[in-house]
Amino acid sequence: MDEQTVENLMTNVEDIIVGKLDDTPQQLMNIMTTQRIRHIPIIENENIVGIVSIGDLIKLALENSEVESRKLREFIKNPFINSLHLLPTNTGPRRRECPDHQI
């Protein structure tokens, strides 16, 4: 590498995309996706208070997905749910077709 400094490489402060403490993870994910960036500094009172990375958001999404999957499995395994028998919506006589004749 030549003798450049980071000043020549860095993003100008006016162009930095920032988030706020009350932004939702979905909002930050949308910003990262549309702007094609991987990190967003979080600002409060004009000070950086943290940084959220795409990895942080992916981890949260995976955790939420795992919780949802666990809850669905528990719901499906519930003995009460498994003992329910759904009644047909039409309780009148049913017409069946037989190969030799009709009933």
CATH of the domain at 47: 3.10.580.10
Q: What share of the chain is helix, strand, coil (3-state, %, to 5)?
A: 45, 15, 40
Beta strands in the chain (DSSP E): 19-20, 39-44, 47-53
Rounded CA Rg of the chain? 28
Q: Which residues contact 44 (CB under 8 A, 6 or more apart)?
A: 20, 21
The pTM of this model reads 0.61
- Tell me how far apart the alpha carbons of residues 103 and 49 are, in angstroms, rounded to a whole number: 77
Q: How many domains does the chain have?
A: 1
pLDDT tens string 2-44: 788 998 899 898 899 999 999 999 999 999 999 999 999 999 9
The answer to whether residue 37 is domain-embedded is yes
**Residue 56 structural domain:** 6-78
